[in-house]
Amino acid sequence: MVARMKSSPELSGLDKSKKTDSITEYLMSTYFKSSKAEETEKPSGGGVGTLQLNSRERRASAAVLEEVSEGLNRLTELGDVSRTALMALQSKLKNWTFDIFELERLTTAPLYVMAEWCFLGLGFFEALGLDKVKFRTFFFAADGGYMPNIAYHTSTHGADVCQGMFHLLTRGGLGAHVTQTTAMAMLIAAGCHDMGHVGRNNKFLCDISHDLAVRYNDKSPLENLHAASAVQLLHREDSKFVRDAAQLKEVRRIVVDVILATDMAYHAEHLNKLDAHLETGPIDMAKDVDQGLALRLLLHTIDCGNPGRPWDTYATWTERVLEEFYEQGDDERSRGMPITKAFDRDNQVPKAQFQLGFIGYIVKPLFEKAQLMKCVDLAEPLRMVNENETRWKVAAEEERKVAAERAAAEEAAAAS
Ligand code: CMP
């Protein structure tokens, strides 16, 4: 695969006219920049509450790190059976159908394991002269940097996006268009892109004047946290695994750029920019501007891309993301704030209809537009998105039928 990568000198829209129901309203208000968010009245007495930011790297004590450097087997404390299972899983690393939850079952640090597999798979330790011990320290700390007790934004999600990026670089053919340094930066960004996530969205953090919102002036507080955490770790003496100063600078530039671009508020902007570009000509990955646009869009696409994974994997992600939404809804209720649409566990939006909205407005346009860039093959994820969408359409029909029957029964009861 490395041979397919350029060895350069340096190693080197949403259709807003669509009818607005509660689901699309939620999608719009959550994923599209509007001045409305800023206009929202702040709840009185809002504060940081129980959210904490300082438990990152909780597992990365010096003693444990020493142990980690000695090898994966001791970290995961696996018996022979699990080790065999891990190796079998590793052999499927390039597959889009990779079972990330199997990795989660087999290890306590899925991002750490995933990153090591990806870097080994691309021969980066030798090719880029990386410090392997510091690499392990970096990714062990990054894995531990994901907060515990969060349903969706866990280190398993970081590992999943990292694997998705690895798939794009290898099977997807993206690796042929970027330098090894850029490919490495994209894997780091993918793995770290949600590090320290607090399980609430940006709007909530701004509304309650959370520490992060205050620190980052209400501008992408989460993504700023993720990017800054990754960069700090890249520069920390014991985890500074990129030895070359110029290379580190380039990695840092890309990591910050693409992680900040994962803020859903920029979703429409990414698509509009691509549309405008494609009207003037194809994406030319040899040009920095085009490559930047493509890489931002691709990380964002993989980040939202669980509806393009096999059904069982996607269904698990859906359960997790909904649980995280409901936990934010619970928090909003307890603070006396208006509950975000679709975050209310006592008044749940029908799941199939919600997922159809997410796929139709967000995920499918992303995969379809990204495919037009022609620097990566997304045929397999696109086929799976379509298959999953078809399944949800059937489920949505059933949801509507059940709702209609319930409404009729309630009407009849009221009339009698
Ligand atoms: P975030 O990680 O900030 O960026 C991508 C967003 O996509 C994520 O937050 C969720 O809000 C959203 N998301 C991911 N998967 C799903 C899903 N299956 N259903 C609805 N929203 C999702």
pLDDT (tens digit, 0 to 9) for every residue of the chain, 416 residues total? 433 343 332 222 334 334 445 566 666 666 655 433 333 333 332 222 223 333 333 343 333 334 444 445 545 555 666 788 999 999 999 999 999 999 999 998 999 999 999 999 999 999 999 999 999 999 999 999 999 899 999 999 999 999 999 999 999 999 999 999 999 999 999 999 999 999 999 999 999 999 999 999 999 999 999 999 999 999 999 999 999 999 999 999 999 999 999 999 999 999 999 999 999 999 999 999 999 999 999 999 999 999 999 999 999 999 999 999 999 999 999 999 999 989 999 999 999 999 999 999 999 999 999 999 999 999 999 999 999 999 999 999 999 999 999 999 999 999 98
Q: Using a 6 Å CB cutoff, which residues line ligand 1?
A: 194, 264, 303-304, 306-307, 317-318, 321, 355, 358
Which residues are the active-site residues? 153
CA distance 186 to 371: 18
Atom 10 (ligand 1): residue with closest C-alpha?
321
**Atom of ligand 1 at shortest distance to CA of 263?**
3
Kindly state the tokens that stand for 353: 């209809």
Ligand 1 centre to CA of 321 (Å) is 7
Atom 4 (ligand 1): residue with closest C-alpha?
264
**Atom of ligand 1 at shortest distance to CA of 307?**
18
Ligand 1 pocket test, pick from 262, 303, 304 with the greatest ligand atom count within 8 Å of Cβ, gives 304
Q: Which residue has the tokens 């994820």?
A: 381
Q: Which residues contact 300 (CB under 8 A, 6 or more apart)?
A: 261, 262, 266, 267, 270, 366
Question: How many secondary structure helices (H) and strands (E) does the chain include?
Answer: 21, 0
Question: What pLDDT was estimated at residue 148?
Answer: 86
Atom 18 (ligand 1): residue with closest C-alpha?
318
**Atom of ligand 1 at shortest distance to CA of 194?**
2
Question: What pLDDT was estimated at residue 17?
Answer: 38
Q: Which residues contact 42 (CB under 8 A, 6 or more apart)?
A: 207, 208, 209
Question: What pLDDT was estimated at residue 30?
Answer: 62
> Which of left, alpha, beta for 199 (phi over 0: left; psi -120 to 50: alpha)?
left
Atom 6 (ligand 1): residue with closest C-alpha?
304
Q: Which residue has the tokens 């949403």?
A: 14
